[in-house]
Amino acid sequence: MILLFVVHTIQGQTLTGFDGYYYTGSSAGTALVPRLYFQSAGGWYGEARYNYESGQAISLYAGRTLSGGSWSVTPMLGVVAGKFRGGSFGTNATLDIKHISLSSDLQYTVSSRSSDESFFFSWSELGYHLTGHFYAGTVLQQTCFSRGHNSFDPGLQVSLYAGDWQFPVYIFNPLGNQRYCVVGVSREWVYGKSINHKKATETP
């Protein structure tokens, strides 16, 4: 499975954070996926993932965030080791307009063992901040494997904020037989102060 996140950038400040997500359902299987990330005041970005590109796989990514007010773009390069081995490159982008948030993630991951395992992944999200404690929206993820297997998974999401903590819930393919859920918890710190952020995605 793949899990990608968007970090809403605070320009000129150092931030660190973590996420933990639990996936269950007929399409996603069952897995626990943690992530740690760091971004410097200069925009340099890095993160460590587990169980993201594949079960029992560790990945490390590095890149730099470019931002301007309401938007941010973070191109990244990464390496994957474990059950899946290879390299990856992609871009995460966000745009916030008042209470509306847009995000788009693109990733191409190349297997070092077989070209049939390589894949392209995209994730798009449109959401609305209803209150300071509640966020809701729609999501769409697509995965295209070199061997020809493609998946198209629409979904819904809600997220609750409690102080410095965020608790997102995603339901993919809510009207289909391949329905599955993602439940998470996250927290972020900025110069010793914590702020809320949102996101993420998963695909089989």
pLDDT of residue 27: 56
Pairing state between β 44-50 and 86-97: unpaired
Looking at residue 81, its pLDDT comes to: 96
Query: Residue range 67-76: average pLDDT?
Result: 90
Pairwise CA distance, residues 143 & 20, whole Å = 22
Is the model more confident about 31 or about 96? 96
Confidence of residue 68 (pLDDT cuts 50, 70, 90): confident
Whether residue 141 is predicted with pLDDT greater than 60 in this model: the reply is yes
Residue 126: its H or E element: strand 119-131
Which residues lie below 8 Å from residue 133, measured CB to CB, with a gap of 6+?
Answer: 160, 161, 162
- The pLDDT of residue 197 is 44
State pLDDT tens for residues 42-65.
889 999 999 888 889 999 999 999
Average pLDDT over residues 120-126: 89
CATH fold of 15-195, please? Porin (2.40.160)
User: What is the distance in angstroms between the CA of the first residue and the CA of the last residue of the chain?
Assistant: 4
- DSSP structural state of residue 203: B
Reported as a single tens digit per residue, the pLDDT across 180-190 is 899 999 998 88
The mean pLDDT of the chain is 84
Q: What number is the average pLDDT over the span 165-185?
A: 91
**Domain assignments of the chain as residue spans, ordered by start:** 15-195
Say if residues 113 and 173 touch (Cβ distance below 8 Å).
no
